[in-house]
Amino acid sequence: KDHLRAEGGHLTIDGVDVVDLAEEFGTPLYVTSEARLRANARAYREAFPEALIYFAVKANGNLALLRILAEEGLGADVFSAGELSLVRMAGIPGEKVLFNGNSKRTEELKMALEAGVRISADSLDELLALAEVAKEMGEEAEVAFRVNPDVSAKTHPKIATGLKTSKFGIPWQDLVEVYERAMGLEGVKPVGLHCHIGSQILDTAPFVEAAARMMELAGRIVEVGGKIEMMDFGGGLGIPYTPETAAPTPSQLASGIKPVFEEGCRRLGISPRMILEPGRSIVADSTIFLTRVNVVKRAHVNFVGVDAGFNLLARPMLYDAYHHVVVANKADGRAEERYTVVGPICESGDVLAKDRNLPRIERGDLIAMLDAGAYGFSMASVYNGQPRCPEVLVGGGRAELIRRGEDQSVLLSGQVVPARLLK
Ligand code: LLP
């Protein structure tokens, strides 16, 4: 990772000493490399010059980062009204947004229509509701259909989304029937297909399999007189969290799915726009998470207690995810001891990193968890009365605050104590 280096014993991000950042902004702290984020976005744009790349906002909803991605020409996949308002605020135009979701509220459908964004319908029930809402508003909703392609991809079961047992999408066997139904329905205009088979997938084969199934379905839709203007193959490309992992690049993904797409389009005589919705592979490795050592406890194992846990980085707890650990103020140090890094949350599962060989650690040391940009801050909570931390952007050789840390007032926010309890 060329944005991260060890210089003079300290970890640096794009040349900026992270030990200084921790001093200046405090810990815990998320720090993002603007250069890395832009490079990741460009890698997609170059691998898929003719496609639209929609950043999956659930991975990271920071406005400054969304602005950067908007500048790089990306659109957005949003999964809620809240995510839609974020991307609108970031200046991403409505025509470059797809509103996804398996259980949308009526207000969300309305908001999507008002914003002029396409909607991906996840069920027949939702299609019918959308048609009603659109008719009431005197609009015609452009709608794509989330297909459940029943493709198995090797990843953590909680983030596999394309199996027939998953809650997402319309079973592929039912798709043509639903599409035909939509074709005859007032208030909606069916424009294409959408799928997503899972996240953190390290092999291109399942993407190719899903693309083939999608093109086969497109063919059946064309046969019944349907039009296909867009084909969205989802996100899901994994990243190498461990030093031993190899992950496909966007251009390897392109070599896998483009031939299937292009051949299918030629055969069917259609020219839809290809769309991809990457989240993790755009933002994960741009960002590190810094946390300070409060205690070292030599017990059954050597525990390193730091000032953040699954309240701010939930992935290890939720998915047994690995995030590489660097002792940022001993970045040149030789691994001498085995440690388990734990947070301050009152649960035994609050472990950030297990059994890592690291330089000797003491109170005050600074721990960097790498690849924390995707599903890091965006999944943070205030559990155990822990306000959320700040975020910083490193660009052009300097660091700027892009989210203020919360103070304890966030814990009171919105709470109402009935007067009778205030006696
Ligand atoms: N599009 C749809 C419809 C999705 O459901 C997702 C992710 C994406 C795009 C983006 O996928 P990506 O390129 O980031 O893999 N919190 C979990 C990941 C959940 C992913 C859910 N859907 C984690 O931290 O691993």
Going by their DSSP bridges, the two strands 16-17 and 75-78 should be labelled as unpaired
| 195 flagged as catalytic | no
Q: Is the CB of 395 under 6 A from ligand 1?
A: no
The Cα–Cα gap between 372 and 286 comes to: 8
pLDDT computed for residue 160 by the predictor: 83
**CA-based Rg of the chain, rounded to a whole angstrom?**
23
- Looking at every residue in the chain, the average pLDDT score rounds to 97
Q: Which of 195, 265, 346, 389 is catalytic?
A: 346
Half-sphere exposure of 334 (CA within 13 A, CB side): 1
Strand partners, 304: 296, 341
What is the position in ligand 1's atom list of the atom closest to the CA of 281?
Answer: 13
pLDDT computed for residue 163 by the predictor: 87
pLDDT digits (tens, 9 = 90+) for 3-49: 999 999 999 999 999 999 999 999 999 999 999 999 999 999 999 99
Claim: this prediction has a pTM higher than 0.80: yes
3-state secondary structure of 50: coil
Residues recorded for the chain: 423
Amino acid at 86: L
Q: Report ipTM (2 d.p.).
A: 0.99
Q: Is the CB of 315 under 6 A from ligand 1?
A: yes
- Per-residue confidence band for 1, with pLDDT thresholds at 50, 70 and 90: confident
Q: Which DSSP state fits 313?
A: -
The answer to whether the CB of 206 falls within 8 A of the CB of 170 is: no
Indicate if the pLDDT at residue 231 is higher than 80.
yes
Dig out the tokens for 255 from the structure. 């070599």
Long-range contacts from 126-135, C-beta under 8 angstroms, 24+ separation: 127/178, 127/181, 127/182, 127/185, 127/188, 128/185, 130/187, 130/188, 131/182, 131/185, 131/186, 131/187, 131/188, 132/187, 133/106, 133/109, 133/187, 134/187, 134/188, 135/186, 135/187
pLDDT digits (tens, 9 = 90+) for 287-334: 999 999 999 999 999 999 999 999 999 999 999 999 999 999 999 999
Mutate which of 52, 58, 317 for ligand 1 pocket (most atoms within 8 A of beta carbon): 58
